[in-house]
Amino acid sequence: MIHTLTNLSVSAITIMAPLLLAATGGLFTELSGMLNIALEGLMLVGAFASIAGVFLTDSLLLGLLIGVASSMLLSIILASVTLYLKANVFITGLAANLFASGITVILSFHLFGNRGVITFDTLKELPDLFTRFAQQMPLIAGYHVLTYLSVVLLFAAWVLLYRTPFGMRLRGVGFHEQALASLGLSPHRYRFAACVLSGLYAGLGGAALSLHLGSFVPNITAGRGWIALVAVFLGQRRPIGILLASFIFAFAEAFSNYAQGAWSVPSEFLLAIPYAISLFAIIFYSVFETRKKRVEYRKG
């Protein structure tokens, strides 16, 4: 039993990495008061561009950088149109997702001649760290580098948001943008920065997905960008909360993978588990919040 739980947790932590990265990206935009539903598209672009980059340059690092640069480029476009051309943030987010779906397939076709799955036999793999300790401490050692990076970057995000002037102003924009405007600080600038940061993180998350897999599948993200957004809300827009929420979803997915193999429940039901858990989680959370906020007045 413990063995299974440990194994599940290990899988969960690996699965968690892309989700956590994307959710952290979503944290920035959410705290700055800008609805960001483009996490899915940003992840997708990062996933594709990084794997294409690794293949083309034969270097993991360069490929990663290309991936992140691409997703950041998309986020720059998104932020520019929304903030400076004054577009509806919901529509532009959807448009960004659309664009990402389209461009990844098109480029895949034109670069690799394949609109479907692209795999490379000679592709460099993501290095695993601390493999020496993997036997004794499976929960902490032996993950690939991006998994560790996701936690480190979460911490970095916390530092940025709560220990620097930039972070404080960004949060201020989300709370009360007029207050900052009256001091001469431009809310648009901070939202723009938040959006670009979300592009960076989400792109990294997508890279974590595809590089770990070693291939790119159209729609490899499969809704993870949206789940990341749910994680941000469930985690009460706080780094610790996001970590927990991401882990919960990842664990649910790990569990459903395991159950598909071990039991003979139809795969569709197991695939639905993470979504169902998210749904119940958010319902309970809202019920709890509403109860807390309800001001009771005495009767009689």
Partner 1 sequence: MRKIERFSVLEYFLRSLFGILAIVLLSVLMLIAAIFLLSNQPLTSIASFFAGPFSSLYAIGNMIDHAVPLAIGAVGIALAMRSGNMNIGGEGQVYAGALVTTIVALALPGWGLTGILIALTSSMLVSGSVAGLSGWLRERWNVSDLITTFLLSNIIILVVDYMVAYPFVDPQTNLISTRFVDPSYHLPILLPPSQLNTALLIALLCVISAHLFLYRSRTGFELRMVGDNEEFARYAGVDHRLYRILPMTLSGALYGLGGALAILGTYHATIKGFSAGMGWNALLVALIARFKPAAIIPAALFFAYIDAGARSAMFYSDVTYEIAYIVQAVIFFLISSRILQRIALGRRRV
Partner 2 sequence: MKSITKIYPETQRRANDQVDFTLFPAEILSLAGENGAGKSTLMKILYGLTSCDSGEIQVHGQPFAHPSPIEAGKRGIGMVHQHFMLVEEFTVTENVVLGEESTALTGFLDRRRNRQRVASLIEEHHFSLSPDDRVMSLSVGQKQQVEILKMLMRDVNILILDEPTSVLTQLEIDSLFTTLRKLQRHGVSIILITHKLHEIKDISDRVAVMREGRMVGVYETATVSEEDIARAMMGDEGLSVVRKERHQMNLDPVLSFDHVSLIRHNQDHPLLDDISFTVHPGEILGCAAVSGNGLGQLESVLLGNLPVSSGEIRYHDEVLTSVHHTATTRKRGIPFVPSDRLYTGCSLTEKVSDNVIATSRKRFFPPFNVSRKEIESYTSQLIETYGISATPSAPIGTLSGGGIQKVILAREIEGIRDLIICCEPTWGLDVNSTAFIHRQIVQLRNDGVGVLLISSNIDEMLALADRLLVFSRGGVSARFSASDMSSLTKEELSPYLLGKKRMEVTLA
Please report, to the nearest 10 degrees, the dihedral formed by the alpha carbons of residues 20, 202, 271, 7 taken in order. -40
Please report whether residue 289 would count as binding partner 2 according to CB under 8 A: no
Q: Which of 92, 123, 119, 117 is nearest to 105 (CA)?
A: 117
* Residue 127 binds to partner 1 (criterion: CB under 8 A): no
Site for partner 1 in 243-272 (CB under 8 A): 266, 268-269, 271-272
Among 122, 135, 136, 178, binds partner 2 (CB under 8 A): 178
- Residue 91 near partner 1 by CB under 8 A: yes
Of 83 and 243, which CB lies nearer to partner 1 in the complex structure?
83
Cβ atoms of 77 and 23 within 8 Å: the answer is no
Which residues in the 155-174 window bind partner 2 by CB under 8 A?
Answer: 159, 163-165, 168-169, 172
Structure tokens at 58: 């034969």
* Binding of residue 106 to partner 1 (CB under 8 A): yes
Q: Give the phi and the psi of residue 14 in degrees, each rounded to 5.
A: -65, -45
Helices 39-57 and 2-31: crossing angle in degrees, nearest 10, is 110
Residues whose CB is less than 8 angstroms from the CB of residue 97 and which lie 6 or more positions away in sequence, other chains included: 37, 38, 40, 41, 44, 225
C-beta separation of 109 from 237 below 8 A: no
Q: Which does 289 bind (CB under 5 to 8 A by kind): partner 1, partner 2, none?
A: partner 1
Residues that bind partner 1 (CB under 8 A): 77, 81, 84-88, 91-92, 94-96, 98-99, 101-103, 105-106, 109-110, 115, 223, 226, 229-230, 233, 266, 268-269, 271-272, 275-276, 278-279, 282-283, 286-287, 289-290
Residues that bind partner 2 (CB under 8 A): 159, 163-165, 168-169, 172, 175-176, 178-185, 295-300
